[in-house]
Amino acid sequence: MNFSSDKIEKVLDLIYDAAAENDLWPHALTAIADLTHSEGGILFGQSVTAKRVYFDFNGRLNEECNRAYQERHMQNPWSQHMEAQPTGRLVLSDEAISLAKLQQLAFYDEVLRPQNVAHNGMMALAAREDFRAAFNMCRSARRGTFDPDELRLLEWLSPHLCRSVTLGFRIDGYLAMQQAAFRLSGTAHAEPVAAAHGDPTGRAAGAVGRSDLAGGAPVVGILR
């Protein structure tokens, strides 16, 4: 791969640091977008069947278009195609629908065209029942689809992205247990409970997990 080792190392650091610090996901996605000459990237925790987004991390894409997607266009040819894909497999949007057909849809007019997106590299990073952690790296029509080096980079990053997302879910589940312990023990014992679990700041008391994929259905709620 013709990429600077320093840049790849920086991206890896961001990906794994984001497991413990959600605010770093937009930076990680933006760094991947820069390496692959993409418009931007976004990571959704969603159920297309339920038409519900549990969390999203946006790396340089348009927030108004993101809202249009969540409100009106979760059911679209890209998301429908990804429902049957295995975790960690990179899928190019042209496998789901040609650009010519895509451009005929309201999904394209309201979500993609306003932010100059025509192609997408998609991966399910985690899945349970109808829940997916959905990675998207979006390209313009001018750039076209990814070149071979960019494809290899995304495929190489796939297991790291999957591990980080899964680790993040486990951390959130752990923090949710801390929160339960905090509530049960009462205010007088809040600081000792937090400190005993390695969180002397007590920030876990306000934590709500993104999902407990390791042991059950998605938890409604998002950011720490």
Strand partners, 135: 43, 123
- Residue 224's pLDDT is 35
Which pair of structure tokens corresponds to residue 108?
A: 């394209």
- Structural domain including 19 reads 5-167
pTM: 0.80
Number of domains in the chain: 1
Return the pLDDT at 190: 46
Give the largest CA-CA distance in the chain.
63
Which two tokens mark 155? 């495929």
> Has residue 126 been placed in a domain?
yes
First to last CA, the chain: 35
What pLDDT score was predicted for residue 40? 98
Crossing angle (nearest 10°) for helices 148-185 and 25-35: 180
Residue 211 belongs to some domain of the structure: no
* Cα gap 165→19, rounded to integer Å: 6
Which DSSP letter does residue 84 get?
T
CATH number at residue 108: 3.30.450.40
* In-domain check, residue 208: no
Q: Where are the beta strands (DSSP E) in the chain?
A: 40-47, 52-59, 91-92, 119-128, 131-139
Give the pLDDT of residue 176: 77
Q: Has residue 45 been placed in a domain?
A: yes
Q: Tell me, what's the pLDDT at 186?
A: 63
SS3 71: helix
With respect to residue 202, please indicate whether it lies within any of the assigned structural domains: no
- Average pLDDT, consecutive stretches of 10 residues, N- to C-terminus, the chain (224 residues): 86 97 97 97 94 95 97 96 96 97 98 98 94 97 96 98 95 79 63 40 39 41 34
Helix, strand or coil, per DSSP, at residue 156: helix
Q: In the β-sheet with 119-128, what is the strand arrangement from edge to edge?
A: 52-59, 40-47, 131-139, 119-128, 91-92
Is 220 part of any domain? no
